[in-house]
Amino acid sequence: MGSHRPKDMDVAVIDPVNGPLMLIGVRSQMSSIGNNTLGYIDGIIGEAESLQKRFPMSIHGYVYFMPKEVIKPGKENEKVNHARYAKLLSTITGREGVDYNETRGIYDHLAYMVVDFNATPLSIEDALVAAAVPGTDLRISTFVDRMVATYKERHPEWAVFG
């Protein structure tokens, strides 16, 4: 689906006549967090640019998934700076305004999903993310609703999501 090379999407809502209405990428990063996160964020910015160039009217979202604490055996003492990653991710979300379809490299909505694998049952740490970026909603619990609301706002003529 990308403009420069083929790209498989993780989640897509596609109208048979009008093409992609909503595109969502998902990345889980369970290890090498300190070494690879910045490179992965650069990659998802490029992915947004490519998809938005080809499908500017689509609603674009991304879910970035990490463990609350490093879970790789032998690396348990490493700390994950979730506040830093939440702040970085908050800079590439919020594609809005009347010229949204000309904006590239910024997602309409992004979710930073932090999971505590040591909790029973597993716990999604939305409060940890919200505390890091109080002005930006990166919660996974509101992600789908935010995507649908943006779709309805931009395309009231297409009652796809009721």
Q: What is the pLDDT along the chain (162 residues), one digit of tens a residue?
A: 544 556 678 999 998 888 899 999 999 888 788 788 888 999 999 999 999 998 998 999 999 999 999 887 877 778 889 999 999 999 999 998 888 888 889 999 999 999 999 999 999 999 999 999 999 999 999 999 999 999 999 888 877 776
Q: List Cβ neighbours of 78 (8 Å cut-off, separation of 6 or more).
A: 33, 34, 70
In the chain, where the domains are located: 11-154
Cα–Cα distance for residue pair 106/161, rounded to 1 Å: 23
Q: List Cβ neighbours of 22 (8 Å cut-off, separation of 6 or more).
A: 11, 12, 13, 58, 59, 60, 61, 147, 151
Q: How much is the pTM?
A: 0.89
